[in-house]
């Protein structure tokens, strides 16, 4: 149904996100030629076994050479190294984008290396799982999810519009934001939940030595939800923490203050305070469900092109 949108697409990094994009491009026929590059020869070989692209190379420079669209899907801490490697080979008029979970740092790392004759448009699809690597990707990951662009001032609106059409073809809704604002919003809605999960599972793991296997044996679904997040890729999340340091520390300070309030209410038996907070937070969940953002709901993520509801 879709037509070729970019003649040559280079995917640098072919883990969960890169390989999901590759699968969608393939399925929708959005590219004439898909070239895949990743640093590790083993991962590259796996991408080839999975037939995610048309050509494969460990050289990011070779992959980017002559590409009309370059999508960088590597841990955010590797952004500068990739930008340095690809910059001399970028074709005039090419669109360069990324999928990194932090934006100000990615811009600081990549923008200085981008030649005048390309369109650099930082992006972030708000879709993913706790899994990593090329096997973890799947078709339709971005359906019904937001993709946030944080374009630099003066970026060609036509290039933004071409990239927007690409993400919309993958079923995403696209929004634009200032990178600093993006980093603050994501710090509270995504980065802190992961840090809290790493922390609580780490604490439980320390207790495990005392309680033997009780932590696993009796773990209720609340704790299990935390273990899913805490199973997320350590390299990726180390980089997110180091590259969104200021916003994360600001949100952690607020979080600790609010936790101290809760702690105090529990210590002094102030049930009304607990009840008030727990009632307020319940309405947050309800508004997410009402806004159609509940991924567990059967109709969530229907593609614009689907002609009948999911069953």
Ligand X SMILES: O=C(O)C(=O)Cc1ccc(O)cc1
Ligand Y SMILES: NC(=O)C1=CN([C@@H]2O[C@H](COP(=O)(O)OP(=O)(O)OC[C@H]3O[C@@H](n4cnc5c(N)ncnc54)[C@H](O)[C@@H]3O)[C@@H](O)[C@H]2O)C=CC1
Secondary structure (DSSP) of 12-54: E--SHHHHHHHHHHHHHT-EEEEEEE-S-HHHHHHHHHTT--S
Closer by beta carbon to ligand X, 126 or else 185: 126
Q: How far is the CB of 172 from ligand X (least distance, A)?
A: 12
Quick one: CA dihedral 107, 108, 109, 112, positive or negative? positive
Tokens encoding 186: 């994501």
Decide: is 24 part of the binding site for ligand Y (CB under 6 A).
no
Pick one of ligand X, ligand Y, none as the site partner of residue 190 (Cβ within 5 to 8 A by kind).
Answer: ligand X
Taking the C-alpha atoms of residue 294 and residue 254, their distance in angstroms, rounded to an integer, is: 26
141 in helix, strand or coil? coil
Taking the C-alpha atoms of residue 279 and residue 238, their distance in angstroms, rounded to an integer, is: 34
Closer by beta carbon to ligand Y, 73 or else 172: 73
Taking the C-alpha atoms of residue 153 and residue 65, their distance in angstroms, rounded to an integer, is: 26
Decide: is 190 part of the binding site for ligand X (CB under 6 A).
yes
Exactly one of 126, 231, 252, 265 binds ligand X (CB under 6 A); that residue is 126
- In our burial notation (b when 16+ CB lie closer than 10 A, e otherwise), range 261-293 reads eeeebeeeeeeeeeeeeeeeeeeeeeeeeeeee
| Residues 79 to 108 in contact with ligand X, rule: CB under 6 A | 101
Decide: is 216 part of the binding site for ligand X (CB under 6 A).
no
Decide: is 130 part of the binding site for ligand X (CB under 6 A).
yes
Pick one of ligand Y, ligand X, none as the site partner of residue 15 (Cβ within 5 to 8 A by kind).
Answer: ligand Y
| Bridge partners (DSSP) listed for residue 77 | none
One symbol per residue from 250 to 279: x for binding ligand X (CB under 6 A), - otherwise; what is it?
Answer: ------------------------------
Exactly one of 18, 53, 123, 128 binds ligand X (CB under 6 A); that residue is 128
Q: How far is the CB of 127 from ligand X (least distance, A)?
A: 6
Stretch that binds ligand X, among 44-52, 122-130, 171-179, 261-269 (CB under 6 A): 122-130
Decide: is 76 part of the binding site for ligand Y (CB under 6 A).
yes
Nearest to 90 by CA among 118, 71, 111: 118
Decide: is 57 part of the binding site for ligand Y (CB under 6 A).
no
Q: How far is the CB of 99 from ligand X (least distance, A)?
A: 8
Decide: is 78 part of the binding site for ligand Y (CB under 6 A).
yes
Closer by beta carbon to ligand X, 24 or else 68: 24
Residue whose tokens read 């149904």:
1
Residue 84 phi, psi dihedral angles, 5° rounding: -60, -40
C-alpha distances (whole Å) from 194 to each of 14, 78, 139, 189, 252 are 22, 20, 24, 9, 12
> What is the CB neighbour count within 10 angstroms for residue 59?
13
Stretch that binds ligand X, among 7-15, 126-134, 163-171, 172-180 (CB under 6 A): 126-134
Q: Which residues bind ligand X (CB under 6 A)?
A: 101, 126, 128-130, 190
Q: Which residues bind ligand Y (CB under 6 A)?
A: 12-18, 38-40, 43, 60, 73-76, 78, 81-82, 99-101, 125, 128-129, 132-133, 233, 236, 240
């Amino acid at each position: 149904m879709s037509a070729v949108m970019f003649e040559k697409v280079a995917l640098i990094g072919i883990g969960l996100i890169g390989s999901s994009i590759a699968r969608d491009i393939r399925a929708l026929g959005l590219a004439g030629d898909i070239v895949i590059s990743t640093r590790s020869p083993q991962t590259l070989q796996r991408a080839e076994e999975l037939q995610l692209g048309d050509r494969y190379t460990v050289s990011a420079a070779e992959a980017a050479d002559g590409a009309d669209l370059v999508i960088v899907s590597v841990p955010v801490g590797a952004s500068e190294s990739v930008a340095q490697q690809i910059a001399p080979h970028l074709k005039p008029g090419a669109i360069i984008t990324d999928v990194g979970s932090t934006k100000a740092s990615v811009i600081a790392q990549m923008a200085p290396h981008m030649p005048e004759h390309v369109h650099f448009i930082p992006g972030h699809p708000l879709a993913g799982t706790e899994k990593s690597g090329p096997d973890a990707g799947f078709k339709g990951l971005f359906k019904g999810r937001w993709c946030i662009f944080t374009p630099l001032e003066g970026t060609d609106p036509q290039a933004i519009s071409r990239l927007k059409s690409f993400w919309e073809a993958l079923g995403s809704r696209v929004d634009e934001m200032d990178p600093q604002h993006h980093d603050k919003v994501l710090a509270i809605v995504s980065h802190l939940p992961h840090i809290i999960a790493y922390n609580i599972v780490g604490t439980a793991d320390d207790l495990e030595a005392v309680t033997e296997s009780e932590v696993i044996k009796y773990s209720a679904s609340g704790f299990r939800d935390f273990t899913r997040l805490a199973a997320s890729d350590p390299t990726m999340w180390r980089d997110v923490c180091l590259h969104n340091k200021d916003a994360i520390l600001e949100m952690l300070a607020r979080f600790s203050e609010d936790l101290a309030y809760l702690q105090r209410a529990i210590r002094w038996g102030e049930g009304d305070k607990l009840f008030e907070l727990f009632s307020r937070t319940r309405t947050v969940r309800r508004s997410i469900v009402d806004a159609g953002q509940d991924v567990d709901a059967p109709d969530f993520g229907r593609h614009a092109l689907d002609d009948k509801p999911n069953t």
